[in-house]
Structure 1
Amino acid sequence: MDAIDEKIIAELTRNGRISHSELASKVLLSRNAVRQRIERLEREGHIAGYTIVRADGDTSDAVSALVLVYRQDRMRGGDVLAALKRIPEVVICEILSGDFDIMVRLEAASLERVRAIWEDIAKMPGVRDTVTALTLSTVVNRPRRTALG
Structure 2
Amino acid sequence: MDNLDRGILDLLRQNARAGYGDIGSVIGLSASAVKRRVDRLVADGVIRGFTIQVDPTVDGMGTEAYVELFCRGTVAPEELFRLLSGIQEVVDASTVSGSADAMVHIRARDIAGLEAALEKVRLAPNVDHTRSAIVLSRLIQRAAD
TM-score by length of 2: 0.67
1:65 aligns with 2:65: yes
Instruction: Render the CA deviation track for 1:83-136: whole Å, top value 9, x for unaligned.
Output: 43565543442332222111112233333432332222223343222122322x
Is the contact between residue 70 and residue 101 of structure 2 (CA under 8 Å) also seen in structure 1? Answer: yes
**Deviation >6 Å, runs of 4+:** none
* Alpha-carbon spacing, 1:142–1:97, altered in 2? closer, same or farther (3 Å): same
Inter-partner Cα distance in structure 1 for 2:87 and 2:5: 29
RMSD: 3.4
SS at match of 1:99: coil
Structure exhibiting the larger radius of gyration computed from Cα positions: 2
* Alpha-carbon spacing, 1:92–1:33, altered in 2? closer, same or farther (3 Å): same
Is the contact between residue 72 and residue 127 of structure 2 (CA under 8 Å) also seen in structure 1? Answer: yes
Cα deviation, residue 14, structure 1? 1.4
Inter-partner Cα distance in structure 2 for 1:108 and 1:40: 36
Instruction: Render the CA deviation track for 1:37-89: whole Å, top value 9, x for unaligned.
Output: 36436xx37435534376xxx94651111111012244623221354356554
Inter-partner Cα distance in structure 2 for 1:53 and 1:36: 26
> Per chain length, whose mean CA-contact separation is higher, i.e. which structure has more relative contact order (CA < 8 Å, sep 6+)?
1
- What residue in structure 1 maps to residue 40 of structure 2? 37
Residues 130-145 of structure 1: pairs in structure 2 closer than 5 A: 130-135=130-135, 137-138=136-137, 140-143=139-142
- What residue in structure 2 maps to residue 114 of structure 1? 114
Structure 2 regions of 5+ residues with no counterpart? none
